[in-house]
Amino acid sequence: MQSNKTVNVDLTINNGTSMSCFHLSGIAALLKNSHPGRSLAAIKSAIMTTAYEINLQGKANLDQRLKLADLFATGAGYVNHLKANDPGLVYDIEPNDHVPYFELY
């Protein structure tokens, strides 16, 4: 049986993690192509350690309410894909490096 009810849903996706996922995936793919020997952890490090902490106008990042963004809203900041290709220092980690931080209950 099919319902005749109409549901209006706003699916506008223009900022936040919904949009950053596609952009960061593409940037990670380009970095992996440019540096095939780098691990995913090293690529993540390159992206995070080269991000801008301020916006392109030189002002502090704002959250979705247009208020000063805190650490949880900004994450690492705005991606600088050109700088991420040659970040200088990257932090690499292997899966077993996480083990000492696990607590088993």
Task: Supply φ then ψ for residue 78, to 5 degrees.
Answer: -85, 135
The answer to whether residue 74 sits within a structural domain is yes
Confidence at residue 25, expressed as pLDDT on a 0 to 100 scale: 93
Q: Is 46 within the bounds of a domain?
A: yes
Domain range for 45 is 37-92
Q: Are 74 and 61 in contact (CB under 8 A)?
A: yes
Q: Which pLDDT value is given to residue 14? A: 56
Q: Is 60 helix (H, G, I), strand (E, B) or coil?
A: strand
56 occurs within a structural domain: yes
Helix axes 40-49, 17-34, angle to 10 degrees: 120
Q: Does the pTM exceed 0.75?
A: no
For residue 4, what pLDDT is reported? Answer: 65
Is 58 inside a domain boundary? yes
Eight-state DSSP code of residue 52: B
Spans in the chain with pLDDT lower than 50: none
Domain count within the chain:
1
